[in-house]
Amino acid sequence: MDGKKSLRAFNLNTLPILREILRHGSVGKAAKALGVSQPALSAALKQLRHQFDDELVVRSKGVMKLTAKAESILSPLEHALAALQDIIEPIEGDLNKPKTLLKIATNDHVMALLGGPLSHLVSHDGINILPQFLSAGGHSAEQLVSGEIEYVIAPKFVMLSSGVNANNLKSINSEPLFVEPMVGIGHPEDSALLRDLSIEEYLQHPHASFEIDANQNISMEQAFLAGNSLLQNDIVRFSCYAAMPSTIIQTHCIALVPISLAKRLEASANIAVFKPPIEFPPIEWTMIWHRRNDNNDQHIKFRTLLKSCAIHVADIVGKH
């Protein structure tokens, strides 16, 4: 069957329904969001399962989960429906309507990865939310508990390393977003040398190191090295990644960074990328929030948008 016939045979009216089911991972919550009965939505889900030849949402250990195919559909579906909305009814912003400000603490690399896709979805989705990205630090977990910020996007170990007591940790919820490996970056003139570094040479080479909070030693890199009784030759440490390229060019030092950042620097700043002789664990970027916002509709929609952006980013990371 050719593409036109396939599209003609598809009931396009079910796509907004599909979006809400995938956003919420629940027929009941999707029905509430759409203002329709649950039986009507169950019937629509049955039709969608037939159209996509996939279960889309399945129950696993008492919780509804998206299938792999459903996860791959969500991000392009968000963008497609946003584009259709622009065609049918261009959005006119109501400047007098206050937006819900959601403060998200993370690092500059994640801001660059998620900021663009998230801004696009928020502006086209009709939800009155204003995301504000802030630099994360050792105090971010305490701010999350106190309500000063609403979200942290960081490796989950950051919460465990930040000195938050056990009772407060119980009030924190989390969900994985995407995973990316760590690679080394260095001066382009050193690319041949960096490819053949031994572990001892790697550790002795001058390093520019990333550390969220020097006072609390919150760093995946430092924690891994200390846990394996290793010590590297740090000549400078940064709490953001933006300063690393100029430091590398001026000093010929090396740094450990997420692969998507490394590839971006390789293309734009002529930075050499290499595989370290030490196998560092990948970064598991995690969305972390306080349980007080578990059932808030605005927050549920926002977390769904973040997950949609993360699926898009995971596809990019997977291509590297």
Q: Which helix (H) or strand (E) holds 104?
A: strand 100-106
- Segment 177-204 mean pLDDT: 94
Q: Is residue 94 part of a domain?
A: no
Residue 172 lies in domain = 100-179+284-319
**Are both 175 and 288 inside the same structural domain?**
yes
What pLDDT score was predicted for residue 211?
A: 86
Q: What is the DSSP string of 9-45?
A: HS-GGGHHHHHHHHHHT-HHHHHHHHT--HHHHHHHH
Query: Could you report the per-residue pLDDT of 131-155, keeping only the tens digit for each?
Result: 999 998 878 888 888 889 999 998 8
**How many other C-beta atoms can be found within 10 angstroms of the C-beta atom of residue 18?**
22
pLDDT above 50 for 2: no
**Are both 250 and 163 inside the same structural domain?**
no
**How many other C-beta atoms can be found within 10 angstroms of the C-beta atom of residue 166?**
6
What pLDDT score was predicted for residue 1?
A: 42
* The domain boundary residue, chosen from 42, 58, 88: 88
- Segment 207-227 mean pLDDT: 81
Q: Is residue 93 part of a domain?
A: no
The CA distances from residue 104 to 233, 293, 306, in Å, are: 32, 14, 11
> What is the value of pTM for the model shown?
0.69
The pLDDT-based confidence of 268 (bands split at 50, 70, 90) is confident
Q: Is residue 160 part of a domain?
A: yes
Burial class (CB in 10 A: 0-12, 13-18, 19+), 115: middle
What pLDDT score was predicted for residue 3?
A: 46
**Are both 171 and 201 inside the same structural domain?**
no
Q: Is residue 221 part of a domain?
A: yes
